[in-house]
Chain A
Amino acid sequence: MASSENISQARSITGLRGLLSSQRNFRRLQQIIIFVIMLIGAVAMIAPFEWMLATSFSRSANVAMPRIPTFWPSDPSTFNYKVAITNLPLARYYLNSLIVTVVSTLGYLFFSSLTGYAFAKGRFIGKSVLFIILLTTLMIPFEIRMIPMYLLMRQLHLSDSYAALILPFISGGFGTFLMRQYISAIPDELIDAARMDGANEFTIYTRVVLPLCGPALAALTVLSALWRWNDVIWPLLVISDRSLFTITFGLAMASRSQGIFTGVALATSAIAILPIMILYLFLQRYIIRGIMLTGLKG
């Protein structure tokens, strides 16, 4: 934005006044071209979702598909949704997703900020060593650890439980690292002043530190929620009880079973996706800001 404005300013300043009107035309043309390119991209982004909706509302999608692209159901019906809701306990799946996402995100926020606070402002023996140990998490992808984690869950008899879906994710090197960086920027004077008033460290953490961590906590909330909501490989290892399926995992299992029907599959996808999309519409400013702050995605 800055560059083009400055450049056009520069051109007009360097005495090409005669070209000013064509300059304005040029800028308008430039805007139109960019707009059209962006619009094409946006259509490509939305088209699959729109097609998913159109097909999911077609009664005959389970047996035969129209041979020309349709963005409006050929024979509108809510049949596929009725089948999806009746044949799969989607409400239960949603509830499980909510429980898992909310509990692990709350845990993630609490432990990350608490430990982050200790690393940012605490004084204790072994601090830097411990911090470096913690940072190794960032370099050990989950996929490398998954086999022993699966075996551990079985040994602990935690397979097929909420604990299996939540416990491994209520703290993490990344969250701690982010919170430490953020809390380090809080002036020591604020904390010292609270200490002078006789507050203990936990009070300082809850009353002084946490209220100042809004943006970092918001970003972590977004990330943790997206990670947990969309995870599929971990439930694939530890959950076989259908009453514990999350919505994402339930969708994966339904569609991977042989003989899923197109219309029902797409209706199920729509049910899994749409509430999140609507939430996103309201929260997109915070979500995008959070992603930009951390540079990490779901």
Chain B
Amino acid sequence: MLRKLRKSLIWYVFVAPTFILYALFVAYPTFETFRLSFFQEVATRQEFVGALHYIRLLGNQVFLAALLNTAFLGIIFLMIIVPLSLVMASLLNNLHVWPNLFKAIYFLPQITSTVAVALVFSYVFQPNWGLVNNILRELGVDPLPLWLAEPRYVLTGSRAAVTILAVWVALGYYMLIFQAGLQAVPSELYDAAVVDGAGPLQTWWLITIPSLRPTFIFLFITGTIDAMSRFSDLWMLGGPAGTPARSLQTIVMYVYQTAFESNDFNLASAAAVILFVAVLVLTVVNFRSFLGREFSSQSGA
């Protein structure tokens, strides 16, 4: 036993640093977020208050609006980016002229910092002289859309502007992941389709898309987590309050504002815990719905 432990020792040395850092920066803060969410600072002391902050949050219109807004922006984003990037990736896969050049160009926004991109887009969407409205004006559009000055749920409002921004940034990445998926589709499947006399669109619909299921699962799960923790671009464009009229506020922005502008770390921690639960639930739901579909399609076939 002792000998075995001694032999193991070297491996513990190898994993020790990672676990020390894990304890400091993952385990402890996660635990502490939960703990703080059940306490309240009273005259520099922390007093246990049970679920008080959760009750406050669930009756708090600002928080609920931020939660809904995060979900709304995330769903719209995924509903646009996934089909769009799939089509673009499939097209690019069939292009023989400069495919790598296009790949590199589409990926460009990904290596650029969100901060710089959001800054540039705050001017691109400027209603009076921004790039987008200048082009629309040349095309004779009147009245010009207000973009970041329009908090309503309209196709040319602030939510639309940030969705266009997010799609613009993410398109290259999603295309790349789809291309990786496309290249992994076994060519025998296509040969079989050809023998059956299927046209290109049929092949795409019946062979390609079903074969990409792992890619879809991956993109939906990572996309959901990214969407739930969205912060930088919206913070650049709308500040921590997500102006105008909180139309761009997300949960993380709410956490940030509550903790660091209103100095209520306890309430902010409770909001962070709700974010954590939401991420967890969504991941599980995503997994199950996709796996469920997999099972039903298997039993159907």
A and B touch in the complex (CB under 8 A): yes
Query: Distance in Å from the Cβ of A157 to the closest Cβ of chain B?
Result: 15
| B123:A7 contact, CB within 8 angstroms | no
Check B21–A167 contact: CB distance below 8 A.
Answer: yes
Bound together, the chains give a CA A266 to CA B131 distance in angstroms of 13
Contacts of A273 in B (CB 8 A): 112-113, 116
List B residues 84-106 near A (Cβ within 8 Å): 88, 91-97, 100, 102-106
Q: Is B33 an interface residue (CB 8 A)?
A: yes
- B218 partner residues in chain A, CB cutoff 8 A: 295
B236 contacts A256, C-beta separation under 8 Å:
yes
A170 to chain B, nearest CB (A): 7
Interchain CB contact under 8 A, A233 and B265: no
Q: Chain A's nearest CB lies how many Å from the CB of B137?
A: 8
With A7-B194, A139-B280, A148-B36 known as contacts, the answer to whether A229 contacts B177 (CB < 8 A) is: no
For the complex, would chain B's binding face be called helix, strand, loop or mixed by DSSP majority? Answer: helix
Bound-state CA distance A144–B270 (Å) is: 10
Taking the nearest CB of chain B, how far is it from the CB of A16, in angstroms? 12
Q: Let me know if A269 and B180 touch, CB within 8 A.
A: no
Nearest CB in chain B: distance from A204 CB, A: 10
Contact with B along A22-47 (1 / 0, CB 8 A): 00000000110011011001101111
Bound-state Cα–Cα, A238 to B235, Å = 17
Classify chain A: how many residues form its interface, as a range.
Answer: 35 or more
Tell me the complex Cα distance, A14–B24, Å: 67
Question: Which of B6-14, B61-69, B75-83 lies on the face that meets chain A?
Answer: B6-14
* B229 adjacent to A111 (CB under 8 Å): no
Inter-chain contact B106/A69, CB cutoff 8 Å: no
**Does A66 contact B129, Cβ atoms closer than 8 Å?**
yes
Could you tell me the distance between the alpha carbons of A201 and B207 in the complex, rounded to whole angstroms? 47
Residues B138 and A295 in contact, CB atoms below 8 Å apart = no
Cross-chain contact B29 with A277 (CB below 8 angstroms): no
Bound together, the chains give a CA A123 to CA B176 distance in angstroms of 37
B25 & A134 in contact (Cβ 8 Å cutoff): no
Which residue of B108, B111, B168, B260 contacts A298 across the interface (Cβ within 8 Å)?
A: B111
Is A102 an interface position by the 8 A CB rule? no
B190 and A2 contact, CB distance less than 8 A? yes
Question: Do B92 and A38 touch across chains, with their CB atoms under 8 A apart?
Answer: yes
Which B residues are in CB contact (< 8 Å) with A6? 187, 190-191, 194
Q: Which 6 A-B pairs have the closest CB atoms?
A: A148-B32, A124-B8, A145-B29, A122-B11, A118-B14, A148-B29
Residues of A within 8 A of B (CB): 1-4, 6-7, 9-10, 14, 30-31, 34-35, 37-38, 41-42, 44-49, 51-52, 55, 65-69, 111-112, 114-115, 117-119, 122-125, 127, 130, 133-134, 136-137, 139-152, 167-168, 170-171, 173, 176, 200-202, 205, 226, 229-230, 232-233, 236-237, 248-249, 251-252, 255-256, 262, 265-266, 269, 272-273, 276-277, 280-281, 284-285, 287-288, 291-292, 295-298
A-B contact pairs, 12 of them (CB 8 A): A3-B200, A3-B203, A3-B207, A35-B97, A51-B131, A140-B30, A146-B272, A152-B28, A251-B115, A255-B115, A265-B119, A273-B116
